[in-house]
Amino acid sequence: MNDVISLLKNHRSVRQFTTEPVSDETVREIIAAAGWSATSNFVQAYTVIRVRQQSTREAIAELAGGQSWVETSPVFLVFCADLKRSQSACAYEKSEVVSGYTEQFIIATVDVSLAAQNAMVAAESLGLGGVFIGGIRNDPATVSELLKLPEQVYPVFGMCLGHPAGEHEQKPRLPVDVILKEESYQESEAELEHYNEICQTYYQNRASAARDETWTHQIAKMMSKPTRPHMRAFLEEKGFEFK
């Protein structure tokens, strides 16, 4: 195993940080690394907003479900899928924009996700830790207002970064045999049962918020109820149609 693979396999969500600041130069280096992620057709359909203002952070933390680390982390970033820049490129070339296609939405969402993963890995390579904040989609309209996001730009998730405070446990991931299939899609209940045992042991023995739960039970609870049903209407209001 090389150092890159070791770093990737050591990832864990970090929500508690020391008070040590992260320099602007470091943040810029992390975002530069994000910019070298793969991108569909060179569109680079993302914008990253660093939020420093405490009142804005407090508002976003509350909207995200009371996630206090949004307020306290040395760095808080919001990763946005951005097709506005592509529209500006067309306007610059005096070219007519053909917008509203589902594929364009997918391109922007995938692009920003790849860039954010690059950013997280870059941060971790520098000894930092962090956590993604999907909770900003609890109220994306208000987040958009706070950040003055125009049409064709939407907030996909936030990211807290900083120097980790203390040890952070690592949740066990799906085994390779569950993820990797040969030639065609296959599914095995025995593989899920084995993973359930791994996760149940983890939850029973972790240092904080221990509980008796399996992975399938956790996912079933989540998937058996609507998840952010407001998102489609919000996206349409922001100019993301689904043709």
In a domain, 233, yes or no: no
21 and 127 together in one domain:
yes
**pTM (2 decimals)?**
0.95
Looking at residue 168, its pLDDT comes to: 83
101 and 190 together in one domain:
no
CA 79 vs CA 53, 91, 224: distances in Å: 17, 24, 28
15 and 51 together in one domain:
yes
Helix (H) / strand (E) element for 49: namely: strand 46-50
Which CATH number do you get for residue 86? 3.40.109.10
Range of the domain at 84: 3-169
Looking at residue 215, its pLDDT comes to: 94
177 and 156 together in one domain:
no
Looking at residue 206, its pLDDT comes to: 86
Looking at residue 209, its pLDDT comes to: 80
Looking at residue 62, its pLDDT comes to: 98
Query: 3-state DSSP call for residue 129?
Result: strand
128 and 221 together in one domain:
no
In a domain, 240, yes or no: no
Tally of structural domains, the chain: 2
Supply the DSSP string of 17-85, one letter for each residue. Answer: B-S----HHHHHHHHHHHTTS--GGG---EEEEE---HHHHHHHHHHTTS-THHHHSSEEEEEEEE-HH
84 and 136 together in one domain:
yes
Terminal CA-CA length for the chain: 45
In a domain, 238, yes or no: no
**Amino acid at position 68, single letter:** S
Supply φ then ψ for residue 5, to 5 degrees. Answer: -65, -40
**Could you report the per-residue pLDDT of 93-115, keeping only the tens digit for each?**
999 888 889 999 999 999 999 99
Looking at residue 208, its pLDDT comes to: 80
In a domain, 231, yes or no: no
Walk along the chain (243 residues) in steps of 10 and give the mean pLDDT of each run: 94 96 98 98 97 98 98 98 96 91 96 98 98 98 98 98 91 94 94 94 88 94 94 94 87
Dig out the tokens for 194 from the structure: 């084995």
**Could you report the per-residue pLDDT of 162-210, keeping only the tens digit for each?**
999 988 889 999 999 999 999 999 999 999 999 999 999 999 998 888 8
154 and 122 together in one domain:
yes
155 and 77 together in one domain:
yes
CA 230 to mean position of chain CA atoms:
19
Among residues 169, 200, 217, the one where a domain terminates is 169
**Amino acid at position 15, single letter:** R
Distance CA 161, CA 52 (A): 12
